[in-house]
Structure 1
Amino acid sequence: MNLALFDLDHTLLQIDSDYAWGVYTTRIGWTDPEAFAQRNDEFYAHYKAGTLDIHDYVRFATDAVRQRGPQAAAAAHADFMREVVEPALLPAAHALVEQHRAHGDTLVLVTATNEFVTRPIARRLGIPHLIAVELERAPLPGGSGDWITGAIRGVPSAREGKVTRVQAWLAERGLSFDDVHCTFYSDSINDLPLLEKVQVPVATNPDDRLRAIAQERGWHVLDLFDKIT
C-alpha cells in the first residue's frame, strides 16, 4: 500500500482551522471577544513553540460548541466552511491531493485539530480517512443522542501521538509501517516524529525550524502556497 499522509493546517489549508474556528465563534457571539482572543493567542503561541498542552487546549476550544449543542454547532460549522475554509483551500492543495489520488495512493488526513472541526474539511478535500483528535462523548439529557464533553478520547494525534495513531490505523488493517510506503506532508516542527518515521518526508510550507532540518537532511521542501494554479 502506498500512503499519502497530509497534515492539514498550513499544509493543505492556508489557515489554522482550529484557531480560525475559535475566531469565528467569537464573531458569531458565542464567546467573549477579549477573554477568548487572549487565551486563543496564548494557546496558539504554545502550539508554534511545541509546548501546547493539548488536553487543556481542547477543553478550551470545544467549550462553546459543547454548550451550544449538536444542532447549533453543525449549523455554525456549515457557515464556517463556506465563509472561512473555502477561501483558504487553494487550487495547489487540491492539485496535490488529486495527484496522489490519480496514482492510486490511499489518502489520510493526520491532524492535531479535533474531529469536529476537521471532519467536514476532510470530506471537502475528498480525503476518505481522517486521523484527528477524537472527542469524548456522553449521553444528552432525555436520551436524545450524545454530545462532546470537552475531553479527549484516546491518544491525541499530536507530536509523537501522530505516530501512535497512524500505527493503530495500520494495525486495524493488519499492517505496520514496514508493510507500506508512506509520504507525509507537514509544515510544522511538531510533526517531526512522523516525518522521521516515513520513507518520504515533505516539509510543506515549513516553519523556520522545520525548514532548517529539512535542508540539513536533504528532505524535499514544498512551498505549496507559492504556486499559482
Structure 2
Amino acid sequence: MSDIHRRIAVYDLDRTLTAAPTFTPFLHFAARRIAPWRVLLSPAWFALMIAYRAGLMDRTTLKRRGMRLMTGTVSKEDLRRIGREFAATRAFHPLAIREVESDLAGGARVIVATAAFDFYARGIAARLGLEDVIATRWDGQGIPGGNCYGAEKLRRVRAWLAEQGLSRTEVHVRAVSDSFADAPLLDWADEAWFVTAKGAQGRRAEARGWRAVDFSC
C-alpha cells in the first residue's frame, strides 16, 4: 500500500477551510438567482434559526426548512449550477490553504467532511484541488441520511474508509475542525487540530488533548 493511502487528513469546511460560514450566504445567493423576491423571506429564515437555537427543532429540520423556504422547487441541475457559482465566491483562510497544500505535497489523502450541502461543498473543495468530499445531501425535498454533523460525520468518514478498502489500523488520521460538534471525529482521529483564535475555546480544546491552531493569522 502506498503512503498516500496511509495518511489521511480530514478537514471540516465552514470556518475551518473557509473564512466564514456558508449556508446562510448560500441561501441568499441562491434566492437572488432563482427568484429575487425570495430574498424578502429572509426574516422568516432568521426566525427559523432563532427557533433552532431555542431547541425547537434539530439542525436537519432547520436546513430542510431553509432550503424549501429560500430555494423552492429548483431543479437539481440548476442547484448544482448555482452551487458552483456560489463556490467561486468563498474566501479561504490563507493558513488553511497552506496546510492543505502541505498535506498534498507530503502525499496525504485529503478529504473534506462537512455538514454543508454537497452541491456547493464540492465546488469549494475543487478550488483546493480536492475531490474527496463527504457532505450533506439534498434530494429536492429533504436530507437523506440526515445532516453530516457530529456522530453522523464520523460514521460517514468511517464508511468512506471502508469504501476505499482501508482499515482503521492501516491509516493515520488527522482531523481538523473549528466545531466542538465534531468531537466524535476529533476524538477518533490519531491527531486532532481544533481551529480557533485561542482564548477559552483553545484552552477547552487543549484540555481534551486536541491541538489548538489559528488559521486566521
| Fold shared by both chains (TM-score > 0.5) | yes
**What is the number of residues matched between the two proteins?**
210
1:115 deviates by 0.8
Give the percent of matched residue pairs that are identical in Structure 1 and Structure 2.
Answer: 28
Flag the structure with higher strand content. Answer: 1
Q: Choose from 189, 194, 201 the match for 1:198.
A: 189
Would you say the 8 A contact 2:198–2:213 is kept in 1? no
- Residues of 2 paired with 1:69 and 1:113: CA distance? 19
1:107 deviates by 0.6
Question: How large is the Cα RMSD of the aligned pairs?
Answer: 2.8
Q: Choose from 10, 20, 29 the match for 2:15.
A: 10
Q: Choose from 80, 90, 94 the match for 2:86.
A: 80
- Residues of 2 paired with 1:202 and 1:155: CA distance? 25
1:114 deviates by 1.3
1:22 deviates by 1.5
The letter for the 2-side match of 1:168 is: A
- Residues of 2 paired with 1:166 and 1:60: CA distance? 26
Aligned to 1:20: 25
Would you say the 8 A contact 1:109–1:122 is kept in 2? yes
Aligned to 1:36: 42
Any idea what SS the aligned residue of 2:60 has? helix
Any idea what SS the aligned residue of 2:61 has? helix
1:15 deviates by 1.1
Structure 2: 5+ residue runs without aligned partners? 1-5
1:34 deviates by 4.9
- Residues of 2 paired with 1:225 and 1:61: CA distance? 29
Any idea what SS the aligned residue of 1:25 has? helix
Aligned to 1:188: 179
- Residues of 2 paired with 1:51 and 1:180: CA distance? 40
Aligned to 2:59: 54
Aligned to 1:95: 98
TM-score under structure 2 length normalisation: 0.83
1:56 deviates by 1.1
1:208 deviates by 7.0
**Deviation digits for residues 137-193 of structure 1 (CA, Å, limit 9, x no counterpart):** xxxxxxxxxxx3221223532110011101111111222323211001100111111
1:13 deviates by 0.2
Would you say the 8 A contact 1:17–1:117 is kept in 2? no
Aligned to 1:166: 157
Structure 2 CA distance for partners of 1:90 and 1:187, relative to 1, 3 Å:
closer
TM-score under structure 1 length normalisation: 0.79
Aligned to 1:141: none
